[in-house]
A and B are shown apart, each in its own frame.
Chain A
Amino acid sequence: MTLVSFFKVAFTALARNRMRAFLTILGILIGVGAVIAMVAIGEGAKEKLQEQFTNMGTNILMVMPGTVTQNGIREYSSVTHFYPADMDAVKKDCPDVAYVSPNISSVQTVSAQNQNWTTQISGVNPDFFQIRNWGVVPGGRAITDSEDNSGALVCLLGQTVVTNLFGDANPVGQLVRIKHVPFRVIGVMLPKGDNAQGQDQDDAILVPYTTAMRRLNGTPYLRGMIASAASEEKIPNAETEITQILRQRHHISASWQQDDFMIRSLDEMIQAREQATSQQMLLLGIVAGISLLVGGIGIMNIMLVSVTERTREIGIRMAVGAMDRDILLQFLIEAMVLSLAGGILGILLGVMAGLIVSKVVHWNVIFPLWSIALSFVFSALIGIVFGFYPAHKASQLDPIEALRYQ
């Protein structure tokens, strides 16, 4: 019962000077608001990233030329070449690899009817469509093995390319010229959207890889391979198997010799991303902690002033029977009400700010319950911790001297 009365007393005391109360809690308000908004944006970005990774395909391993520098850092190297035979060997001799597709591409200007468009032409095989989970619009078809083997002049167009070369018309059966060579369009790819780097995946043309090698890139080798493991658990096994096969084929026999290639799994990349995100979160936590600390000091400052101003009031209360803990509790509750008000207003501000940002960057922001709950709890704690010293000082006043205070 008395506790409720103390809360009422606290509210009345704070309401007496609203401007001062507001300025006091501004620190906590802004700090909490910033953290809520940033966490929401971060969570939304994480979700969007997850979507994009799934969009790319599952259980993917990327095989690239690579080398290890003196510092033990693996990096891309343009020296190593992969050959179609490498790819076939991986497909045949790696039981935990389900599909393999070549990595070869170039940027070309293509023309159709009287339109031009510059885009990326990628050489692929039938496995590509499985690996990337990327299908063809009904009415068209994917590239076949025989077309691969024969270097056929066929191609598939991404949605963006279609729009820019053919408008609304159906391009299947039409011709496009790539490097002055006529290619027949055998299908249109389903829309894919942007990838994790923000590039438009629909701005692409797919041709048989042999055609790309011979006609577009003019090289007998590939820039790498994309493989997909049979399942998520098999990814490490697949990685080992590919490594073994390629070492064999590239004549790297001695165990001390480094691979001349790198294998990156998408999962690795996701993990790396997640690690970066947790580092960001840690940083955010530190920033939040500092701003709450500063806000708390502000509260302690104002409470000290308040206690001094109300010395006589404290003396009067003691004279009529208030004990140490009554005075302590009263001022502690005042401090906690202040900090909680800052926290709650901060949460509201953060939610509003997050929603506004969401409109600007076009992805969802997520307000996880833990961020709101934590903000609430920490705001209350700040009030109690930083309000304690002034409240304690108040409770230790001598009633006779307090009554004499002018």
Chain B
Amino acid sequence: MPAASGQLVVFAVASFLALAFALLMVVQRSPVRSVLSLVVTFFALSVLAILLSAPFLAALQIFVYAGAILVLFLFVIMLLNLKEEAADEDDRPVQRTLGLLAALALGGLLAGATLRAPAPGGVPSPRLIPAPDEIPALGRLLFSDYLLAFEALSLLLLVAAVGALLLSKRKFE
């Protein structure tokens, strides 16, 4: 099946890019390049979302994360004019050890989950035509089954916005 193998190639490239740039983001010394690596990772993730026939998710991933949140990151980094991090001075040994332990625990958990997951039942049928409108269905779900979580999240965002306003006001007094 040529279409399916094409999907496999795209999947392989996108996953490789996502992982490689995620790694680059952590290893990179220059904060600007770190942010940019994360942008590439988000793009690769949105390609994966398209492969799963979820273009809405892919567009939101780029629109919200890459287009708004990371631009703000970049904006702040440039405004503060952060240069490359100074050479390693191990001034926080406790955090470093705890961070390493937490990362190992998370890695182990993810590896275990991947190994125990049931094998996928064959390659999903390729869809050349975009999926039927999944957006109304998504909206219906958000306002019925997940209403509580949805409202709680919007409340959280509101609190964050008010808090940010308060913090920025206090500085001028």
Are A and B subunits of one complex?
Answer: no
